[in-house]
Amino acid sequence: MEDLIVIKDLSYTYHSYRKENYVFDEFNISFTKGKVVGLLGPNGSGKSTLIKLMNGLLSPTKGEILIHGHKPGVETKAVVSYLPERTYLQAGKTVKQMLDYFEDFYQDFDKGRARQMLQNLGIDEKAPLKTLSKGTREKVQLILVMSRRALVYILDEPIAGVDPAARDYIIRTIIQNYNEEAVVLLATHLITDVESILDEVVFIKNGKVILQSSVDEVRETHHKSIDAYFREVFAC
Amino acid sequence: MWDLEANRPIYLQIAERIELQICSGEYQAGDKISSVRELAQEAGVNPNTMQRALQELERKGIIVTFRTSGRTVTEDKERIRDLRNHMAREQIQDFLKKMKEMGFEKEEILEFIREEKGEE
């Protein structure tokens, strides 16, 4: 299997209160294509920092991240489709304007596919985003992100803050749209909801990988759901 | 989306569910099976997991893959009969175990079954 993302000896530190704080110290992990991977860890474990590093929003202090053979930058942005935790869509723009914006920005954006999904949900393209409910806005954003034919999808809390029916829709959309050449990294706290679509889980604790395993392996070995196993490992 | 138990491997549960569909006649011998992606969507699981479930069924000789026409339920009616018998036996063993745990003797259990059957 081909490693699409390779993270080698990654260290990331920041300064505060006149001391150096390590988020990651010689962190190593890689992800192969064709998988949906859950990035799971408690608050403050380093998940978000890792995602920001992969997207080039932060730079490693030491070590490197290679995505499809490149360090995060222009080349990787062309192949990485990123759903941030907070929306960056402009509330005043309409859905159609956002479609045009994505088409301009990303060569791999499949506008037809996005429009089809919007239509299936009965979302009016002429509607300004600010007139949509929170759940609908999140769906629009996910549709935009999943309509790119990217190699890497990084989804940061894609189902937080939407109702269970919308969650099901979002989960189905993720399965429908990724392909065997791509990898989906999904960071979330809502493990139960995503468990059935994950191939692999990664547990991160204090900036370290404490588990990288297939979902069914965890179930087979521990006779527990990932959610139950997570609660056991990270019990406070 | 299919109902899945939390503490057992997902692929096994999916394989069992398809076996049940074959057992009940929902899928007949020689019937075409939907594509991995379609099934994965229907079940709400990852396509790789669905693939693994189907491979498991292939290994057991319950479904067959053709290079050109995709997957079908086996034409081998004998195999399907075996599957049905096997599943029936498992259910009965389960039932008997639970009844014994509740302290029932074999004769009592049979009596219950006769009564239930009479009421139908």
Q: What is the DSSP string of A163-222?
A: -HHHHHHHHHHHHHH--TT-EEEEE-S-HHHHGGG-SEEEEEETTEEEEEEEHHHHHHHH
Q: What is the pLDDT of residue A82?
A: 95
pLDDT given for residue B93 in this prediction: 94
pLDDT at A163: 80
pLDDT of residue A69: 94
Q: Tell me, what's the pLDDT at A235?
A: 87
Q: Does B3 fall in a domain?
A: no
B58 domain residue, yes or no: yes
If one counts the domains in chain B, the total is: 2
pLDDT at A183: 94
Does the beta-carbon distance from B44 to A219 stay under 8 Å? Answer: no
DSSP-derived letter for residue B32 is: B
pLDDT tens per residue across all 236 residues of chain A = 578 999 999 999 988 877 888 889 999 999 999 999 999 998 888 998 999 999 999 999 999 999 999 999 999 999 999 999 888 888 899 999 999 999 999 999 999 999 999 998 899 999 999 999 888 888 899 999 999 999 999 999 888 877 888 788 888 888 888 888 999 999 988 898 888 899 999 999 988 999 999 999 999 999 999 999 999 998 87
β partners of residue A128:
A94
Neighbours of A157 (CB within 10 A): 19
The answer on B62 and B83 residing in a single domain is no
Q: 3-state SS of chain B: helix, strand, coil percent to 5? A: 60, 10, 30
Query: Are residues B65 and B17 part of one domain?
Result: yes
Task: Read off the pLDDT of residues B29-86 as tens digits, 9 standing for 90 and up.
Answer: 999 999 898 899 888 898 899 999 999 999 999 999 887 778 999 999 999 999 999 9
My answer on whether B42 and B61 are in the same domain is: yes
Mutate to test the interface with B, among A197, A222, A224 (most CBs of B within 10 A): A197
Residues B102 and B59 in one domain: no
A63 touches B: beta carbon within 8 Å: no
Q: Which position has the higher pLDDT, B111 or A17? A: B111
B17, B54: one domain: yes
Q: Is residue B4 part of a domain?
A: no
* Cα–Cα dist B102/A93, whole Å: 66
Closest CA to A204 of A184, A224, A178, A185: A185
Which pLDDT value is given to residue A20? 83
pLDDT of residue A67: 96
Please report, rounded to a whole number, the percentage of residues in chain B having pLDDT higher than 70: 98
Beta-carbon contacts below 8 Å between A and B:
56
The interface predicted TM-score of the complex, written ipTM, equals 0.72
- B102 to chain A, closest Cα gap in Å: 25
Confidence (pLDDT) at A101: 95
Same domain, B30 and B66: yes
The partner residue sitting opposite A228, judged by closest CB among B6, B41, B52, is: B6
Interatomic CA distance for residues A89 and A222, integer angstroms: 42
Q: Which of B7, B12, B44 sits opposite A196 (nearest CB)?
A: B44
Residues B85 and B64 in one domain: no
Q: Are residues B82 and B29 in the same domain?
A: no
Domain coverage including residue A68 = 3-233
CATH value at residue A41: 3.40.50.300
B41 is in which domain, residue-wise? 10-75
Query: For position A189, what pLDDT does the model report?
Result: 85
Q: A33 contacts in B (CB within 8 Å)?
A: none
Task: Answer whether residue B89 is part of any domain.
Answer: yes
Whether residue B2 is contained in a domain is answered as no
Helix axes A111-120, A134-146, angle to 10 degrees: 150
Asked whether residue B14 falls in the same domain as residue B70, the answer is yes
Is B36 inside any structural domain? yes
Q: Are both B43 and B22 inside the same structural domain? A: yes
Q: Looking at the complex, does the CB of residue B59 fall below 8 Å from at least one CB of chain A?
A: no
Interface of A with B in 102-121 (CB under 8 A): none
Chain A contact set for B41 (CB, 8 A):
172, 175-176
The DSSP 8-state label assigned to residue A42 in this structure reads -
pLDDT of residue B120: 55
Q: Give tens-digit pLDDT for A165-187.
A: 878 888 888 888 888 899 999 99
Q: How many separate domains does chain A show? A: 1
Measure CA of the first residue to CA of the last residue in chain B; give whole Å: 33
pLDDT at site B16: 94
Banded model confidence at residue B119, pLDDT cuts 50, 70, 90: low
The nearest alpha carbon in chain A to B53 belongs to: A216
| pLDDT on residue A210 | 92
Q: Choose from A32, A36, A173, A175 for mutation: most chain B CBs within 10 A.
A: A175
Residue among A175, A196, A223 whose CB faces B4 most closely: A196
